[in-house]
């Protein structure tokens, strides 16, 4: 996908030459109403824009798109009115409403050369993010590439602030959105092209382009250093596993953060093979690794005053004569032993190796994210991530995730679940003997490998990282890029507040 060119403007949107001018509508207490920022466009229609929209059935419903010919009233060829939904009692709309409306508008603008958006007058950053993400499409493997994203979007500057601050917002919001689209690209790339070695190569190239430190451990190095979990999970595939470490050292770095992401490039379930239905979606099982790779590169682009290291263990979980088996006992990195009861609980095994190694560098915070359990979908659905870990930090991560529009909910790690992981022959088993509390039990398992004193959070994105339905808001079909914006918000918050 070619992203649109983005710019800030303080020009009158009614007199700016463009293919379309975007205005917002809301479901006001008295019916359809125009959102803030549309005053100049309405004036150009002699105050009759609302009546025209009402006449063609506009309601202001969230993400509704209505297009009117401008008839020469404004310089743009058409007026594209997009619904924001119901405003608050004081008439304001949220950042997420603007983000979603901008995403819907971006899809409607596909193929146009230039547009000017007044939604940015409400919330600039969300309007930018929504435009980039809503206009995203993955067409690498399609013969017909479609219309493509709108060529250029000018965003009307908010009344508050100055042009320098607005340009800084443009830079940061664009970088965040691009980190999300990078993650989406990784997730959407099919597993015959994205396997551990090629994933590692692409990640390394992305990091080196920003001047970051990169280390890639191949199967020989993994064996020499004792990464038993990664080697076991990847042992059934002809495509050998990898571990990628990418480090960014920011100016005057105040805190050290480790990001760990699950990189299962395809998951058959191994010997404990999955049902055929829906297995194609397991191409997304490396979404956590993609997210942490994109996030550490984002940290470098935005020059956060932090030291951030991304750890991405990568493996393909396949059944074969060399695959690991239920009943095997693995010696993990650091020496702890795990009895395998189910080879489809493989993510926690590669993550445990990476977590132990990451803790050796004594980070102030460790954030791990993964498409870890089907139980996450059972508990929270397809759009809400489950966040576990050190309680205060867990709550902080979940709150920041919700603030940027990535639904997240804090979940407990009940002590009694540790007993369900007792093994007959090893330090612990990789699954419990029942189906109850599977998401929490996986979190309890990971906690066993976090070093004492390390503040940590685990984000289970099994549902939110991949969208199998039609587009909505700024979310398109396939990889979503969740939880990149949460991770970016957490890093920014740590940089500001420690």
Q: Which residues are catalytic?
A: 274, 348
Closest of 361, 368, 360, 350 to residue 228, by C-alpha:
350
The torsion region of residue 70 among left (phi > 0), alpha (psi -120 to 50) and beta comes to alpha
Query: What's the distance, CA 444 to chain centroid?
Result: 24
Tell me the CA distances in angstroms from 180 to 108, 206, 271, 486, one per residue in order.
21, 14, 33, 11
The set of residues, in sequence order, having a beta carbon less than 8 Å from that of 427 and lying 6+ positions away, is 336, 337, 338
Q: What angle do CA 202, 286, 220 make, to 5 degrees?
A: 65
The set of residues, in sequence order, having a beta carbon less than 8 Å from that of 270 and lying 6+ positions away, is 233, 236, 317, 318, 319, 323, 324, 343, 344, 346
CB atoms within 10 A of CB 389: 28
Tell me the CA distances in angstroms from 373 to 190, 201, 293, 377, 462, one per residue in order.
21, 27, 21, 8, 6
Sheet holding 329-331, edge to edge: 329-331, 337-339, 428-429
């Amino acid at each position: 996908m070619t992203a649109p060119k983005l710019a800030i403007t303080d020009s009158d949107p009614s007199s700016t030459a463009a293919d379309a001018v975007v205005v917002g509508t809301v479901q006001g207490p008295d019916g359809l109403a125009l959102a803030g920022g549309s005053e100049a466009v309405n004036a150009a229609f002699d105050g009759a824009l609302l009546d025209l929209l009402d006449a063609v059935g506009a309601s202001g419903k969230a993400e509704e798109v209505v297009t009117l010919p401008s008839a020469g009233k404004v310089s743009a060829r058409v007026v594209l009115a997009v619904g924001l939904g119901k405003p608050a009692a004081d008439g304001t709309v949220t950042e997420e409403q603007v983000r979603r409306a901008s995403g819907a508008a971006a899809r409607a603008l596909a193929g146009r050369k230039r547009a000017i958006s007044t939604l940015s007058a409400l919330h600039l950053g969300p309007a930018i993010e929504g435009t980039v993400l809503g206009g995203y499409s993955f067409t690498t493997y399609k013969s017909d590439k479609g219309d493509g994203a709108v060529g250029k979007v000018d965003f009307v500057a908010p009344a508050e602030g100055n042009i320098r601050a607005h340009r800084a917002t443009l830079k940061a919001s664009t970088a965040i959105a691009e980190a999300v689209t990078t993650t989406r690209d990784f997730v959407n790339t099919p597993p015959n092209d994205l396997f551990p070695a090629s994933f590692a190569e692409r990640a390394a190239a992305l990091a080196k382009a920003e001047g970051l430190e990169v280390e890639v451990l191949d199967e020989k190095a993994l064996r020499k250093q004792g990464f038993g979990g990664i080697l076991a999970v990847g042992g059934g595939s002809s495509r050998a596993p990898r571990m990628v470490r990418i480090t960014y050292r920011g100016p005057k770095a105040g805190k050290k953060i480790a990001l760990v992401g699950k990189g299962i490039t395809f998951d058959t379930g191994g010997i404990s093979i999955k049902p055929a239905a829906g297995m194609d979606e397991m191409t997304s099982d490396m979404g956590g690794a993609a997210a942490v790779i994109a996030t550490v590169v984002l940290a470098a682009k935005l020059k956060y005053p932090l030291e951030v290291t991304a750890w991405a263990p990568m493996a393909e979980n396949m059944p074969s004569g060399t695959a690991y088996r239920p009943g095997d006992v693995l010696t993990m990195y650091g020496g702890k032993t795990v009895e395998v009861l189910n080879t489809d609980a493989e993510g926690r095994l590669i993550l445990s190796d990476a977590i132990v190694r990451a803790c050796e560098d004594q980070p102030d915070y460790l954030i791990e994210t993964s498409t870890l359990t089907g139980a996450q979908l059972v508990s929270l659905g397809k759009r809400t991530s489950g966040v576990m870990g050190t309680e205060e930090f867990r709550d902080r991560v979940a709150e920041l995730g919700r603030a940027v529009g990535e639904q997240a909910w804090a979940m407990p790690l009940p002590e009694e679940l540790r007993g369900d992981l007792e093994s007959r022959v090893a330090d612990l088993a990789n699954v419990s003997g029942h189906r109850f509390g599977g998401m929490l039990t996986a979190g309890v398992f990971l906690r066993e490998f976090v070093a004492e004193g390390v503040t940590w959070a685990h984000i289970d994105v099994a549902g939110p990282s991949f969208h199998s339905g039609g587009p909505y808001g700024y979310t398109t079909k396939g990889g979503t890029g969740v939880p990149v914006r949460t991770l970016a918000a957490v890093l920014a918050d740590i940089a500001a507040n420690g």
